[in-house]
């Protein structure tokens, strides 16, 4: 009986001491965290893709609550999420312009010259290391699907002509494809922008056309037809000034000899009917 009481007393005493330690620790060492961070995190898509520049959704939420970033800077969530978060916090959503990744190359294997056969490791980055790859145009898409592999949102599928097709609905503009492409062919462009130059070739005139039938030759017709200042020819390539986007007009595409400058409603390569899923490697 005595042993039993001793045991109860000892354990009870120990529990009391530990409980006091825990209470003191809780009082002294607790870190206050804004409860809104947790709630904002729950409102975000939770993709942890890093497209906002933060390591993950929670870090983004911390920055938003701290007022350092705006809800609209989460490209994955889109306007709805931005407005929800902004309403919740009672702040301005910021710019909620939706961006999509656009491929600035239309030189599929049907129109671009192939000068060599590549039988190495099937990756654009590996192929590009072998003197630029197997295409005549060293600026063009190699079509070995590094972007398809890296896309977390299954927004990229390879078409029959070897070019990647970005699904404008599924694309969240996370920027992974922009970073992986060894030729730097992807660009995040506002979905409301219709005028796009689908070429990166710095070659001029016949030199460019010899290698790809849809290359921008730098002829400057589009720049002449478009409102002043919208398009500029830099290094034999038509470049659209993003600040003058509101001036854009379809007229700029009418006289393009190669079709390098195009007018996109929403989906790039919408006229390509033979979309097929690539076979898994």
Partner 1 sequence: MEATPTVRKTFAHGIHPPDFKEETRSKPIRRFPFAPVMIVPLSQHIGKPAKPVVAEGQEVERGQLIAEPDGFVSVAMHAPASGIIRKIGLAPHQSGRMVESIFLQPFPASGQQVDPGTPCEVETASPKEIITAIQHAGIVGLGGAAFPTHVKLSIPEDKRIDTLIINGVECEPYLTTDHRVMLEQTGDIFTGIRYVLKATGAKRAIIGIEANKPDAALKLRRSIPEEMPVNVELVKVKYPQGAEKMLITALLGREVPSGGLPADVHVVVINVATAAEIGRLLPRGRGIIERVITITGPAISKKGNYLIPIGTPLRYALDQAGLHEDVSEVVLGGPMMGQAVSSLDIPITKGTSGIVAFTSAETNHRPEKIYPCIHCAYCVDACPLFLNPSRLGILAKQGEYERMAAEYHLMDCFECGSCSWVCPSNIPLVQYFRIAKGIIREKKAQS
Q: Which is nearer to partner 1, 137 or 189 (CB)?
A: 137
Q: Which stretch binds partner 1 (CB under 8 A): 21-29, 121-129, 253-261, 270-278?
A: 121-129
Q: Which stretch binds partner 1 (CB under 8 A): 35-43, 83-91, 94-102, 135-143?
A: 135-143
Find out whether 77 and 64 touch, Cβ atoms under 8 Å. Answer: no
Q: Which is nearer to partner 1, 182 or 259 (CB)?
A: 182
And the tokens for 48? 């942890």
In whole angstroms, the minimum distance from the beta carbon of 227 to partner 1 comes to: 30
Measure Cα distances from 1 to 7, 11, 183 in Å.
10, 16, 83
Q: Is 8 in the site for partner 1 (CB under 8 A)?
A: no
Out of 84, 123, 249, 278, point to the residue binding partner 1 (CB under 8 A): 123
DSSP 246: G
Out of 25, 97, 179, 255, point to the residue binding partner 1 (CB under 8 A): 179
List all residues 6 or more positions away from 183 whose beta carbon is below 8 Å from its beta carbon: 105, 124, 128, 139, 140, 141, 142, 200
Q: Which is nearer to partner 1, 148 or 248 (CB)?
A: 148
In whole angstroms, the minimum distance from the beta carbon of 7 to partner 1 comes to: 50
Q: Which is nearer to partner 1, 40 or 156 (CB)?
A: 156
DSSP 278: P
Q: Which stretch binds partner 1 (CB under 8 A): 40-48, 65-73, 100-108, 127-135?
A: 127-135
Residues pairing with 90 in the sheet: none
Out of 111, 126, 191, 272, point to the residue binding partner 1 (CB under 8 A): 126
Q: Is 119 in the site for partner 1 (CB under 8 A)?
A: yes
Find out whether 81 and 74 touch, Cβ atoms under 8 Å. Answer: yes
Q: How far apart are the first and last CA of the chain?
A: 74
Q: What is the enclosing helix (H) or strand (E) of 6?
A: helix 2-29
Residues pairing with 256 in the sheet: none
Taking the mean position of all CA atoms in its chain, how far away is CA 100? Answer: 7
* Residues between 226 and 255 with contacts to partner 1, criterion CB under 8 A: none
Out of 24, 130, 234, 270, point to the residue binding partner 1 (CB under 8 A): 130
| Range list of H helices, 66-204 | 78-89, 124-129, 146-150, 176-180
Q: Is 188 in the site for partner 1 (CB under 8 A)?
A: no
Out of 76, 145, 195, 203, point to the residue binding partner 1 (CB under 8 A): 203
Q: Which stretch binds partner 1 (CB under 8 A): 33-41, 122-130, 153-161, 214-222?
A: 122-130
Q: Is 140 in the site for partner 1 (CB under 8 A)?
A: no
Question: How do beta strands 261-263 and 237-240 pair?
Answer: unpaired
Measure Cα distances from 276 to 82, 95, 123 in Å.
34, 35, 19
In whole angstroms, the minimum distance from the beta carbon of 156 to partner 1 comes to: 16
- What is the SS3 assignment for 147? helix
The residue ranges that bind partner 1 (CB under 8 A) are: 115-116, 118-121, 123, 125-126, 128-136, 138-139, 150, 179-180, 182, 202-203
């Amino acid at each position: 009986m005595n042993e039993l009481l001793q045991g109860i007393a000892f354990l009870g005493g120990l529990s009391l001491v530990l409980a006091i330690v825990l209470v003191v620790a809780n009082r002294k060492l607790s870190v206050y965290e804004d409860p809104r961070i947790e709630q904002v995190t729950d409102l975000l898509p939770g993709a942890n893709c890093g497209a906002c520049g933060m390591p993950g959704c929670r870090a983004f939420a911390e920055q938003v609550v701290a007022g350092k970033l705006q809800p609209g800077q989460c490209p994955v969530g889109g306007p709805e999420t931005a407005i929800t978060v902004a309403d919740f916090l009672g702040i301005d959503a910021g710019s909620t312009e939706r961006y999509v990744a656009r491929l600035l190359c239309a030189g599929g294997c049907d129109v671009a010259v192939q000068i060599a056969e590549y039988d190495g490791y099937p990756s654009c980055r590996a192929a590009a290391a072998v003197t630029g790859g197997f295409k005549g145009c060293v600026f063009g898409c190699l079509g070995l699907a590094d972007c398809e592999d890296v896309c977390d949102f299954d927004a990229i599928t390879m078409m029959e002509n070897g070019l990647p097709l970005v699904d404008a609905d599924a694309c969240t503009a996370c920027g992974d494809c922009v970073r992986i492409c060894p030729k730097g062919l992807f660009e995040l462009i506002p979905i409301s922008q219709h005028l796009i130059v689908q070429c990166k070739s710095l070659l001029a005139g016949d030199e460019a056309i010899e290698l790809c039938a849809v290359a921008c030759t730098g002829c400057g017709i589009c720049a002449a037809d478009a409102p002043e200042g919208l398009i500029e020819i830099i290094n034999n390539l038509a470049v659209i000034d993003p600040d003058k986007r509101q001036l854009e007009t379809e007229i700029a595409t009418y006289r393009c000899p190669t079709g390098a400058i195009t007018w996109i409603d929403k989906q790039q390569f919408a006229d390509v009917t033979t979309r097929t899923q690539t076979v898994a490697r």
